[in-house]
Amino acid sequence: MKKLLSIKGIKLAACESGIRYPNKKDLAIIELSPESHISAAFTQNTACAAPVEIARSHHSNASTRLLIINSGNANAGTGRQGMEDAISYCKKASELFAFKVEQVLPFSTGVIGEILPVERISSSFKQLKDSLHEDNWQNVAEAIMTTDTKPKGISKEMTINGGESITITGIAKGAGMIQPNMATMLAFIATDISVNKDDLNKLLKTNINESFNRITVDGETSTNDACVLISTSGSGHKFSDLNKQDKENFCYLLREIFVYLAQSIVRDGEGATKFITVEVQGAQSKEQADTVAYSIANSPLVKTAFFAQDPNWGRILSAAGKTQCDMGSLKMYICDICVYDSSTSNTYNESTLQELMLKTDVTIRLDLGCGKDGTRIWTTDLSYDYIKINAEYRN
């Protein structure tokens, strides 16, 4: 990971609070300047965690000043106790910082169904406050990791008005229980340009749909997904004042950051050895394209074939067909080689294809030939290590 650039208006801190494992950073805070705006999206899983419910409610009732994020325990499936715990440490933090409790948002990720060690969290706030610094993005990226093998983050700078500079930095975590639905795993993206609430909400929604909502590792929508976009205005510039070209550039860079972070989650997917792009074209609707793409991306038979570096397109065909889409004019490509064309016989070179399958990045493309809509999503293969990681998770 390249060095993450600081965002004027944001200070961060992380520490080892001993939530689950010793010698593991597991608690972080992000303090926002009073001028900051945030937009946030949360999981649509109805078994959502206590911190999700509280963050959602606090966010809609006050201007956010502090994010508290812990790993190692999801505080999900913990009932009333979980709600009381999350509120209790938000309150502790709000007192220390002299904020209203609604200005504090809690985020958790980790094992489901265990009571949070609230004391360990609350007693770490003083230490965290004392170590707040603009330059702590990397530490926070590490603190929010669970089964992730590496921290995920990226920064982009651009010049506006032909000289002055604005910055965007984003971090994310996630490796398993990944098929975000209208939200994402934990991701925090911030810019020092001032963006008004409406624009910020639009930017979040659009970008999530083209990034975090286009990935799947195992088809599992987490109880704790959350994505936060922060605008601090620390650069002294306003999004609404940008000229057309600068605005386009900013949106392009922001999109790049969302997509990069979403793809980083897939690349670090539990046990993943392949990064698979699934494209569906020629569909009757966006929904049909998505249904077919996810049916392929979540197919354990397709995933195990790709783990074996075997271009077993019969399984892709079957995974598409089980959605009951029209397959009369189907064409299928693996790594841009046409492996199936419903109108002619197969003539591709198996050994060329076998060689392309050895790469880490591979693509599956289907042209359903029955419409004009399409989609593109990203996924992983399914390996022994996925089983290992998830069979041993609580042991």
CB 111 within 8 A of CB 70: no
CA distance 302 to 308: 10
Give the β-pairing of 187-191 and 226-231.
parallel
Q: Return the CA Rg of the chain.
A: 22
Choose, from 146, 147, 184, 380, the residue flagged as catalytic: 184
Phi, psi angles (nearest 5°) of residue 163: -175, -45
CB 44 within 8 A of CB 78: no
DSSP per-residue string spanning 167-206: EEEEEE--SSSB--SSS-SSEEEEESSB--HHHHHHHHHH
Give the residue with the Cβ less far from its own copies, 15 or 111: 111
Q: Kindly tell me which of 139 and 221 has the beta carbon lying closer to its own copies.
A: 221
In the β-sheet with 215-216, what is the strand arrangement from edge to edge?
215-216, 373-380, 275-283, 361-367, 331-334, 337-341
Q: Tokens 């490796």: give the residue.
A: 175
Whether 184 is catalytic is yes
The DSSP call for residue 4 is P
Nearer to its own copies by Cβ, of 64 and 383: the residue is 383
Q: Where are the alpha helices (DSSP H) in the chain?
A: 50-61, 79-97, 118-122, 125-130, 137-143, 197-209, 244-267, 286-297, 300-307, 313-321, 350-356, 384-391
Closer residue to its own copies in complex, CB, 138/369: 369
Q: Interface residues with its own copies (CB under 8 A)?
A: 44-48, 74, 76-77, 79, 81, 111-114, 176-177, 179, 181, 218-223, 298-301, 304-305, 307-308, 310, 312-315, 317-327, 330, 340, 342, 344-346, 382-384, 386-388, 390-395
In the complex with its own copies, which residue's Cβ is closer, 236 or 300?
Answer: 300
Active site members: 184
